Structure 1
Amino acid sequence: MKKLFLALLFFSISIIAQVKSPAEFIPEYGRQVSQYNQLEGYFAHLVQNSAYIKHRPYGQTSQGRSLNTFIISSPENLNVLESIRLTNLYAIGMAGNKPAEANDKAIVWLSFNVHGNEAAAAESAMSVAYELVNPDNTATKEWLKNTVVILDPCLNPDGYSRYGNWLRDISGKNTHPGLYDREHMEPWPGGRQNHYAYDLNRDWAWQTQVETQQRIALYNQWMPMVHVDVHEMGYNEPYFFPPAAEPFHEFITQAQRDFHNSIGEATSKKFDAEGWNYYTRERFDLFYPSYGDTYPSFNGAVGMTYEQGGIGAGRAVTMKNGNIITLQDRINHHTTAVLTAVETASWQKDRLVKNFRTYFKDSRETPKGKYRTYIVKNNGKSQELAKLLDRNHIRYAYADEIKKLSGYHYQSDMEESFTLEPNDIVIQARQPKAVLTQVLFEPAQKLTDSLSYDITAWTLPHAYGIESYALKKETEVKTRQHVTQKGKLEYEKAYAFYVPWDGRQSVRTLASLHKNGVKVRSARKASAFRGIKINPGDLVILKGDNPALGNFEGAMNVLLMEKCDYEVIETGFSVSGADLGGEFYPLLDAPKVLLFSGSGISATDFGQAWFYMDEVADYPVSIVDQQNFGRVNLAEYNTIVMADGWYSFTDEQKKRIDEFIDNGGKVIAIGNALSIFEDRPGYSLTRFATDADKELDKKEQDDEALKARFLEYQNAERRAMSAAVPGAIVENILDRTHPLSYGLGKKYFSLKTSDSHYQLLKNAWNVAYVPKNYKNFGFIGQSLKKRLANTVTFAVEQKGQGKIVYMVDNPLFRGFWENGNLLFSNALFLLD
C-alpha cells in the first residue's frame, strides 16, 4: 500500500510539474493575438497535465469551430461534479430528484470574448485558467476547495478568428502604436460579430444564434451563482468593473447589488496597488435582459460586465495620455480583475448559496411583477414563442378547455374579457424562472434613468404579434403538455392544397416550394371552401398550375410535411368570397434576391438580413459588395435588399437602380438606405408632406435652440435624450388590405431604435403608420415623441412596373422580433 501511495504521489507531482504558463506554451503570447487552435491547444495541455480542470465541449459555431467550457475546481470537487450540479438545481426547484448527498459549492461562470475583436478577453482566459490550476499559486487552491469555476474561453470563435487572422496578416515584426497604422483600422465587417454578423452579447435571451442556443442549454444545466462577462471597449477608456450604472431593473435584488459593491471594493484595492486606471457606476447598466450580465441576473446570478480599453488597439497603441497600452497590459488587467471575482465568490460562498436559493424561493412564492398568469392565443407564431420558452426553461402548458376570462390585453393596452380556448399557451409566474418570465412578459418596464445603454422595451406579445393577456391572479385552467392537432378533412380528389400564412413555418414552406419550382398563389380576399376558411395572404397551390409535378398529391404531401396544418381543397368553387382561379389569387413570383454588403453598410444590419435569408426563410441570396455593383447584371435579379447603412452610389449607379425598378424590380430599403430615394425626382419619399410642415418643424427646432442658450452644460447628455429613442415599442395602424400587412394582426407594434421619421407619404401606400395619439412602451424623448405622430413606418411606392418598400424601422432587428420577420417575409415573397 505504501509503494502504491508513493507511486501515485510521484505521478501527481510529475503531472503538476508539466503545467506550462500561456507564455511558455505559445511563443508570441501577449505580443500577438493567438490562433484559435493555439488557444484550444493550450487548454488541452492544461486538461492533460492538471487534476484541477476538466473539458466540457458544448457545440460548434456556424463555421464548424468548437465551443468549449472548462470546469476548474479541486480534484475532490471534480470527482463529484454531478452531485454539486444536482444539489444546486434541486435547491432552486429545477431538478426533481434530490441527490443522495448534498454538496454545496459556489458556482462561478466566466465568459470571455463574446465579441471577437475584443481579443484580450480570450487571451486572458488562458492566463486566468493557468493561475487557477498553477501548482505554485496556493491562494487559488484555497478558493477552489469551495468553488466550481466554469470557464468559457471564447464565446465567439468565428469572430475571434476573423480578427486574429486579419491582424496577423497585416502585422510586421515591430508594433505600430501610432494611431494611423492599419493595425488600428479593422476592415468591414470586423471581428466583433459572429459568422452572420450578429452581436452575440445582445442574444442571450432571444437565442437566435446557434452559439447562444448551445451555450444557454449548458448554462441551464448548471445555473451558476456568479457570471462574469469579459469585454473590451475603446482603447482610451480605463478599466470598468462593477458596481454597474443605473438604470438597474427593478427586479435586481439588494443581494445582487451588495455583491457588486463587494466586487468593486475588492477589485479597486488590486488596481490601486498597481496604479491602474479604472471607474465604476458610470456606464453599463442592468436593464435590457439579453446581455451577458442581465440575463444571468434575471436567472438569480450576480451578473457582471468587465471592460478593458482595447478595441482597435491591435498589439499596442498610444492613448490620449501618451502612454502605450499593449496586449499584455490588457491581459494583466483582465486576469487580475477576473481572479478577484473568483476570490470574492469563494470567501462569500455561504452568503452566495443562501442568497441564490432565497432568490428562487421568493420568486416561486411571491413573484415580483404585477401579473401572475399570462395567456398567449394559439396561432402560427405561438409555436415559435413556445420554442423560445423551452430554450429559456420557462414552464408553460396548453389550455385544454374553453373558459371565459378577463385580463390586461397587450394589443389594446386595456383590461378586456376574452375566451380561453384549447391550445392557447398558459404561463404561470409562480415557477423557478419567475423573474425571467415576468421580465419578458411585463407590459412596461420601469426605468430609473433615461440614459440606458440599450433598448428599453421588448415585451414578447408585441415582438411576436400574438393576441395575449396578463392576469393579476393565478388562474386555474385545465391544461396539457402538448398541442392537439386538428384532424385532416377527408377528400376524394385534390384540386388544390391550402397553406395558412401565419408564421415562420409558412415562410419556410413557401421558400421550399419556390426552390422546387412549384407555382404558388396567394389569397387577396377572404374566402371559404368546404370546411376551410382562407384569409388574405394564405397560400394555395393549384393542381392545374403544376402539371410537371406528375403525382400532385404525393409531391405536395412531401413538400408540405413541415407545415402540418395544410389542407386539401376539392374544388375551386368557393362557398363565399372568391374562386381559386380568379384575380384574387395571383401567382407569386419566386424572388431572385441581391443583398448589398461592404464598407459603409451596417455590418449587424446586413447580418440580420443575411441570417434571415439563410436561417429564417432558408432561401438563396446573392451577396454583392456595393463597390462591385458596376459588375452586376441586374437582369438576373428581381429583388434588391438594402440593409441600413451609408451607400456610396454614383449618380449613374442610382440611375441603374431607377431603371431596375421601372422595369419591374422590387427594392426593399431599410433604415438609412432610404436616403438613396429621399427627395429624388420620381420618388415620393420626403420628410415632410408640405412646405408648411417643413417650416413648422424648423421653427420648433429654432425655438428649442433659443431656449437652450440658458441651459447649463452639466446636463447636456440628458437633454440630448429628448430627441432620441434608444429602443421603444411604438403602436402602428395597419392597412390590413395590403399584402405587406398580411398575418401581422390588427395592429403592428414596431421596435423603434432610431429617431428617423417621415410624415405620411403622398402617392404611396402607407401600410403601417404611427397614429396621432399612439401608445408606446419604453423610453422616447419628449421632443421626438410628439414628432412621431402621423409618421410612416412601412410604405410601398409603385414606380413604373416595379416598387420600393420603405422600411423606416428595421423589422429584422436582432432577429427576435418575430412579427417583424413575417413583415419582411411579406415584402420579400407576397408583394408582386
Structure 2
Amino acid sequence: MREELLKYQYDFYQNAKQEVHKDKNKAIVFGDRNDKGKTYQFAKMLERQHIKFHKLSSSVTAGGTKFMTNDSYMIPADQPNYRMIKAMFETRTSFQDSLFYDVSAWTLPMAFDLNYGYTNSLTSIGEVVHSLDFPVGRVSLNSDYAYVFEWDEYYTPKALYTILKNNLRAKVATKPFSIGNKKYDYGTILIPVANQVKTSEEIHSILKEIAKETGVDFDGATTGITTGIDLGSTYFKSLEQPKIAVLVGDGITSSDAGEIWHLLDTRYQIPITKLDTKNLGRADLSKYTTIIISNTFGSSLNNATDDLKTFVKNGGVLIGYRNALRWLESKNFINLDFKKSKITGKDISFADRADFRGAQVIGGAIFEAEIDLTHPIGYGYNKNKIALFRNTTLFINPDSTNYKKPLQYTKKALLSGYISKENLKAIKGTIPFKTASLGRGEVIVFTDNTNFRAFWYGTNKLLMNAIFFGKMM
C-alpha cells in the first residue's frame, strides 16, 4: 500500500512538472504596499498549504502593478503544489455544466482584494520565506500635538476600537490633506493630544502597544499646518465607541451571523451582544449604537418592527444583509427598487425544467463593482474597483440621482465563476449597497455577504466602515 501511494505521488509530481515546463508563466507576484496585514494573512494561508514563496530581490512589474521588495512576495511555479497554485489564482467564467453543489469561484487573491500578477521571469526572485512574523507597526515620534494613521491597513478597525475603548477622542478625515511631503487620504484617523483624559506620555504608550498588536503605523504631528484641511477643521468628524448587537435565533441564518461574530469578536477583538429574536421585545436597544441583521427568513422579526424603528429614529445604525433587505423594505425602513431578471422557460422541455431552474441559482461567484473612494463606505480602499462575492439573485436598481453611486456593479461584472446569461444581464448596473436616513439614524443594506466563510478578507472593511462611519453616510 505504501509503495502504491509513493508511486502515485511520484507520478502526480512528474505530471505537474510537465505542466510547469509548458506554462509560460514562471511565477506569480503578490502584495499590497498599503496593507501589510492583509498581505501577511494571504502569505500565512500559502504557508499552511505548504506552498513555497520568496521575497523579492528587486522590484518587479506584473499585471500592471509595481511590486516592491519590502511588501511583496513571489511564488515560483516549479514546485510540488503547482496545481494547487493554479487553482487558487484561476479565473474561470465558462463551464460545461451549469449546476453547482457549492461555490463556483475560489480566486483567492480576489477574495483578499490583493494585487497580483504573472511573470515569465525569475530574475527578481529572492530568498525563500521559511517563517512569517506578524507585521509590527510603529509610532514615528512622541507628539504633544496629534497623531494620525491611515485607514488602509486591514487591522485599523481593531486599532481604532482600542483607541476609543481607552476613552481617547478620535476623528476621521472626510477630505484629503498633507503634512509636509506626506499625503493622507479620505478616512485618515486623527487622535488629538490636547484635551484628552490621558497625558501625552500615556497616549504615546497606548499607541505604541496598539501599533505592535495591529501592524498599524502612527505618525506624530508636530504642527497643525497642513496642505488642504487643517487638523482643527470641521471636515474631521468625531467618532464614538461602537456598541454592537447582532441578531441571532429564529429567522436568522446562523452561519451568516456566526461569520459576523467571528470577524468582530475573534479577528478584531470588538465585543458584541448576540440578541435572540425571541427576546427583542424585552431588550433595551438604546444601549447599542449598531444593530446588524444578517440573512433572514420567515416572520420572526415582525413583532420587533416598532422597536427597531425607534432604535434607528433615536440615532442608531441598522445594518441589513441579503434577504433582510426584503423585510426592511416591506416595513418601510428603506426604499428599495428590486429588479427581476427576465427569465423565461418557454422553450424548455418538461424533462429539463429542474436543470433550467437550477442554472438560475448563483451558488457563489465573484463580481466587479466600482467603489467611490470619497464615500465613507470606500474609506481605506485604494482602487476604484472591488471584487465582491455573491450567492444571491437579489438585485437593486439605483436611484435616479446625478450623484455617483458608492458601490455599483460594472457593465461587465463577472470576474470569476458561473452566472446564467439572464442573471448576468440583470446584474449589470445594479447596486449591492444602499443607505437611507430614518429619523436621526441610518439604515444601511448590503445585498452580498461581505464576510463569507471568514476568508473573504477583501470586503470585511465595508462592514467596518458601516459600523464606524455609518452616521456619516
Instruction: Give the TM-score normalised by the residue count of structure 2.
Output: 0.89
State the 1:567 CA deviation: 2.9
| Equivalent position of 1:424 in the other structure | 72
1:356 aligned onto 2:5: no
**Letter in structure 1 aligned against 2:258:** G
Identity %: 24
Does residue 1:441 correspond to 2:99, yes or no? no
Residues 563-590 of structure 1: per-residue CA shift (max 9 Å, x gap):
3441332235244222122122212111
- Alignment of 1:382 with 2:39, yes or no, is yes
Aligned to 2:443: 804
Say if 2:260 is the partner of 1:609. yes
Aligned-pair distance for 1:477?
0.6
Deviations for 1:686-709, whole angstroms, at most 9, x for unmatched residues? 215xxxxx8xx6xx45xx25x24x
Between the aligned partners of 2:213 and 2:455, the Cα distance in structure 1 is 21
Quote the Cα distance in structure 1 between the aligned partners of 2:316 and 2:58.
Answer: 49
> Closer, same or farther in 2 for the Cα pair 1:572/1:597, shift >3 Å?
farther
- Shift of residue 609, structure 1, vs aligned partner: 1.2
List aligned pairs for 1:181-330, cutoff 5 A.
Answer: none
Please say if residues 572 and 581 of structure 1, whose CA atoms lie closer than 8 Å, have aligned partners that are also in contact.
no
TM superposition shift of 1:725: 1.1
Tell me which amino acid in the other structure corresponds to 1:519: R
Q: Deviations over 1:209-244 (max 9, x none)?
A: xxxxxxxxxxxxxxxxxxxxxxxxxxxxxxxxxxxx
SS at match of 1:718: helix
Q: Distance in 1 between matches of 2:371 and 2:143?
A: 38
In the other structure, the counterpart of 2:156 is: 506
> Equivalent residue for 1:497?
147
Where does structure 2 lack aligned partners over 5 or more consecutive residues?
A: none
Aligned partners of 2:369 and 2:387 also within 8 Å: yes
Deviations 1:719-741 (A, max 9, x none): 11442211111111112211111
Alignment match, 1:714: 351
8 A contact 1:726–1:753 mirrored in 2: yes
Of 54, 58, 63 in structure 2, the residue corresponding to residue 397 of structure 1 is 54
2:387 maps to amino acid? F
CA contact (8 A) 1:369 1:442 kept: no
Q: Report the CA distance between 1:650 and its aligned residue.
A: 6.1
* Structure 1 residue corresponding to 2:177, chosen from 527, 531, 539: 527
Determine if the alignment matches structure 1 residue 776 to structure 2 residue 415: yes
Q: Which has the higher contact order (CA 8 A, sep 6+)?
A: 2
Q: Are the equivalent residues in 1 in contact too, given 2:317–2:441 (CA < 8 A)? A: yes
Does the 8 A contact of 2:29 with 2:72 survive in 1? yes
What are the superposed Cα offsets for residues 354-388 of structure 1, whole Å, 9 maximum, x if unpaired? Answer: 12122123334533867432121323121221121
Q: CA deviation at 1:561?
A: 2.2
For the pair 1:752 / 2:405, whether they are aligned, the reply is no
1:625 aligns with 2:272: no
CA contact (8 A) 1:503 1:822 kept: no
Correspondence 1:574-589 to 2 at 5 A: 574-589=225-240
Contact 2:98 2:359 in 1 (8 A): no
Tell me, in whole angstroms, the C-alpha distance in 2 between the residues paired with 1:365 and 1:567. 49
Structure 1 portions without partners, runs of 5+: 1-345, 410-415, 689-693
Superposed counterparts of 1:432-581, under 5 Å? 432-444=80-92, 447-471=95-119, 473-480=120-127, 481=129, 491=141, 493-549=143-199, 551=201, 552-581=203-232
Q: Count how many residue pairs are aligned between Structure 1 and Structure 2.
A: 460
Question: 2 CA distance for matches of 1:437 and 1:559?
Answer: 34
Report the CA distance shift for 1:671/1:486 in structure 2 as closer, same or farther (over 3 A): closer
Among residues 677, 690, 715, which one is paired with 2:328 in the alignment? 677
1:623 deviates by 0.7
Structure whose alpha-carbon radius of gyration is higher: 1
Change in 2 beyond 3 A, CA 1:587/1:479: farther
More helix by share: 1
CA deviations 1:100-135 (Å, max 9, x no partner) are xxxxxxxxxxxxxxxxxxxxxxxxxxxxxxxxxxxx
Verify the 8 A CA contact 2:102 2:364 in the aligned structure 1: yes
- In structure 2, give the amino acid aligned to 1:751: F
> What is the aligned partner in structure 2 of residue 740 from structure 1?
377
Does the CA-based 8 Å contact 1:641-1:669 persist in structure 2? yes
Residue in structure 2 matched with residue 242 of structure 1 by the alignment: none
Say whether 1:818 aligns with 2:457: yes
Counterpart Cα distance in 2 of 1:484 and 1:615:
16
CA shift in 2, pair 1:678/1:486, >3 Å: closer
Q: Is the 8 A contact 1:519 1:541 kept in 2?
A: yes
Question: Residue 394 of structure 2 aligns to which amino acid in structure 1?
Answer: S
Classify 1:730/1:484 alpha carbon distance in 2 versus 1 (closer, same or farther; 3 Å).
closer
CA drift of 1:809 comes to 0.4
The 1:475/1:640 distance shift into structure 2, 3 A limit, reads same
Distance 1:820 1:484 in 2: 21
**Corresponding position: 1:665 with 2:322:** no
Aligned partner of residue 432 in structure 2, secondary structure: strand
Residue type at the aligned position of 1:727: G
Tell me, yes or no, if structure 1 residue 634 matches structure 2 residue 271: no
Q: Distance in 1 between matches of 2:393 and 2:138?
A: 49
- Tell me the secondary structure at the aligned position of residue 501 of structure 1: coil
In the alignment, which residue of structure 2 is the partner of 1:55?
none
Helix, strand or coil for the counterpart of 2:159? helix
| Contact map agreement 2:245 2:290 (CA 8 A) in 1 | yes
Question: How far, CA to CA, are the matches of 2:134 and 2:122 in structure 1?
Answer: 21
State the shift of 1:475 in Å.
2.8
Q: Structure 1, residues 114-165: CA drift from partner, whole Å, max 9, x if none?
A: xxxxxxxxxxxxxxxxxxxxxxxxxxxxxxxxxxxxxxxxxxxxxxxxxxxx
User: How many angstroms apart in 1 are the aligned matches of 2:185 and 2:286?
Assistant: 34
The AA in structure 1 aligned to 2:68 is E
Q: Name which of structure 1's ranges 813-822 and 794-803 shifts more when overlaid on structure 2.
A: 794-803
| Structure 2 contact 91–415 (Cα < 8 Å) conserved | no
1:560 to partner: Cα distance: 2.8
Deviation at 1:651, TM superposition (A): 5.3
- TM-score (ref. length: structure 1): 0.52
Q: Label 1:547 to 1:765 Cα distance change in 2 as closer, same or farther (>3 A).
A: farther
Mean Cα displacement is larger for which, 775-784 or 563-572? 563-572
Residues in 2 aligned to 1:803 and 1:527: alpha-carbon distance in whole angstroms = 28
Q: Partners of 1:487 and 1:612 in 2: how far apart? A: 21
Matching of residues 140-155 of structure 1 within 5 Å: none
* Residue pair 1:371, 1:442 contacting (<8 A) in 2 also: no
Amino acid at match of 2:193: K
Mapped partners of 1:531, 1:564: distance in 2:
23
Deviation sequence 1:463-498 (CA, Å, 0-9, x none): 111222123x24321424479989968646342222
Note the 1:171-190 alignment, pairs <5 A: none
1:635 CA drift (Å): 1.1
